[in-house]
Amino acid sequence: MIADLEEKMDAQQQQITELKFLVEKLLIQNAETPKSTSYVLPLEQKALLAQNQPNPFNENTLVDYFIPATVKQAHIQVTTFDGKVIGKVDITKMGKGQVTIQSKSYPAGTYFYSLVLDGQVMETKRMVLAR
C-alpha cells in the first residue's frame, strides 16, 4: 500500500513539474509576443444646446453649444411664443462655441431659441427677457 502511494506521489510530482515547465514557456512566449495595438473608439458626438445664462436676462445672454464636425450648416434662431423668427445667428465654426443674444428693442417676455443643423431643428430652449 505504501509503495502504491509512493508511485502515485511520483506521478503527481512529474505532472507538477510538467505544468511548471508549460507555465514558464507560456510566460516567455507572452513576453516575446508584441502587444496588440489598442485604440479608443470615439463616442458618437451629438449636438448640444445649453440653457442661456443668465436667465432671465435684461440686455444680453450667453448660449453655449456644441456642433459635430459632420454638420454642413448651423445657426441659432430666436422665436417668439407664437413661432415668429425674430433673430438668427449663423454659426460657421463647428465644435464647441458660444453666442451672445442681444435683446435690442424686444419687449419683455418669453422667447425660444433653437439650434438648427442642416435645416433641422435639433433642440429648443426657453429664455425670459425681463426689463
- Strand 48-49 and strand 109-117: pairing? unpaired
Does the pLDDT value for residue 131 go beyond 90?
Answer: no
Domain boundaries, the chain: 48-129
Among the residue ranges 48-57, 64-73, 100-109, 119-128, the one predicted with the least confidence is 100-109
- Higher-confidence residue of 21 and 102: namely 102
77 in Cβ contact with 116 (< 8 Å): yes
Q: So what's the pLDDT on residue 22?
A: 80
Asked if CATH classification 2.60.120.380 holds for the domain at 48-129, the reply, yes or no, is no
DSSP string, 20-65: HHHHHHHHHHHHHSPPPP--PPPPPP--EEPPPBSSSBSSEEEEEE
Whether the model pTM is above 0.75: no
